[in-house]
């Protein structure tokens, strides 16, 4: 297929590369220049602007947040103004339910198709084409996108015809992951202060009843008290919990554990932890217990 791809961060660059590798004709664009060279070497074309990505069957976007996704889509030089009638916007960014609904309406008015297809997976999974893709939108359009999903992920899950459903599922999945991190943080604080070996504990759990990658990856980081470098930074985790809670507000669904996570992330940011991995919230229980191995001093409250 002839494609555009906008957003060449760590996730997007890996995803675009996988599309090129299986033979798609991809024009790539990133607002901050200097990200496209490796893709050009693989055979992608460089687009000078958003318009330059709009000449084919579909444009895929993989952007940092609502602000970026909104800037790319709306306005004179944006996707909605330039995508041909009948073309598809495959929005794979983690964005709000509200923005996804706005995009759905705007593309429909412009005679374009819109599919929300956010992903689960860290950059290494993106590079290995092992992402899990959650897709929602018109079934025929999703069917058209399946070859793209197969190039980028190990599996695509259709979850309905309303695109924003996919965004809500993605946000709720990040909520579930952050919940597991908080739970691990409290459990490790508890057994660690009792003198039990933290790593042996995580090995035990993840070799038995908690044998999911989430527990292995984050349990290991928490046992080690090592939250940098960030694979997924704390401000992004905070953003996603806020978007989940914003959707919960609209739907009138109280989420007390969501609120706890919100406050945990806010505390990390308040204490200078913007550079840390989002799993740093899993170090706060040990900090509260006065027993925080490896918590960087940047996170210690300042004294006047």
Site for a second copy in 195-214 (CB under 8 A): 195-197, 200-201, 204-205, 207-214
Q: Catalytic residue, from 170, 193, 216, 239: name it.
A: 170
Count the neighbouring beta carbons within 10 Å of the beta carbon of residue 222.
Answer: 29
Which C-beta is closer to a second copy: that of 86 or that of 195?
A: 195
For the record, the structure tokens of 220 come out as: 């290991």
Rg of the chain on CA atoms, in Å? 20
Q: How far is the CB of 128 from a second copy (least distance, A)?
A: 15
Q: Contacts with a second copy in 220-249 (CB under 8 A)?
A: 242, 244, 247-249
CB-nearer residue toward a second copy: 77 or 213: 213
Q: What is the DSSP string of 58-73?
A: EEEE--SSHHHHHHHH
65 near a second copy, rule: CB under 8 A: no
| Member of 52, 78, 147, 160 binding a second copy (CB under 8 A) | 160
Residue 128 engages a second copy in binding (rule: CB under 8 A) = no
Annotate each residue in 175-194 with x if it binds a second copy (CB under 8 A) or - if it does not, as one string.
xxx-xx-xxx-xx-xxx-xx
Residue 6 interacting with a second copy (CB under 8 A): no
For residue 170, indicate whether it is catalytic.
yes
Of the candidate spans 8-16, 20-28, 68-76, 269-277, the one that interacts with a second copy by CB under 8 A turns out to be: 269-277
- The token duo for 67 is 């602000």
Q: Which of residues 27-46 bind a second copy (CB under 8 A)?
A: none
Torsion of CA 140, 143, 145, 149, to 10 degrees: 150
Take residue 154 and report the two structure tokens written for it: 């190990």
Measured from the CB of residue 207, what is the shortest distance to a second copy in angstroms? 7
C-alpha distances in angstroms, 280 versus 83, 200, 212?
Answer: 41, 20, 19
Beta bridge partners of 135: 158
Q: Is 4 helix (H, G, I), strand (E, B) or coil?
A: strand
115 contacts 84 by C-beta, under 8 angstroms: no
Which residues does the annotation mark as catalytic? 170
């Amino acid at each position: 297929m002839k494609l555009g791809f906008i957003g060449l961060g760590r996730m997007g660059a890996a995803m675009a590369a996988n599309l090129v590798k299986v033979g798609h004709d991809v024009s790539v664009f990133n607002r901050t220049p200097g990200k496209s060279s490796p893709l050009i070497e693989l055979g992608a074309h460089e687009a000078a602007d958003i318009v330059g990505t709009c000449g084919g069957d579909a444009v895929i976007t993989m952007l940092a947040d609502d602000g970026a996704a909104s800037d790319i889509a709306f306005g004179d030089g944006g996707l909605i103004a330039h995508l041909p009638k009948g073309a598809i916007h495959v929005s794979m960014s983690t964005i709000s339910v509200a923005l996804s609904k706005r995009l759905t309406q705007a593309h429909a008015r412009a005679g374009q198709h819109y599919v929300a297809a956010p992903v689960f997976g860290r950059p290494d999974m993106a590079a290995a084409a092992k992402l899990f893709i959650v897709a929602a939108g018109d079934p025929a359009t999703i069917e058209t996108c399946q070859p793209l999903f197969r190039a980028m992920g190990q599996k695509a899950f259709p979850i309905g015809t309303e695109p924003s459903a996919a965004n809500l599922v993605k946000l709720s999945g990040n909520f579930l992951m952050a919940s597991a991190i908080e739970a691990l943080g409290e459990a490790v604080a508890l057994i660690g202060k009792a003198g039990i070996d933290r790593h042996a504990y995580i090995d035990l759990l993840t070799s038995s009843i908690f044998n999911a990658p989430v527990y292995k990856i984050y349990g290991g980081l928490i046992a080690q008290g090592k939250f940098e470098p960030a694979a997924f930074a704390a401000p992004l985790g905070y953003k996603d919990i806020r978007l989940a809670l914003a959707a919960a507000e609209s739907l009138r669904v109280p989420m007390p554990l969501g609120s706890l996570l919100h406050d945990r992330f806010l505390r990390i940011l308040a204490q200078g932890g913007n550079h840390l991995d989002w799993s740093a919230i899993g170090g706060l229980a040990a900090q509260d217990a006065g027993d925080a191995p490896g918590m960087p001093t940047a996170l210690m409250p300042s004294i006047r």
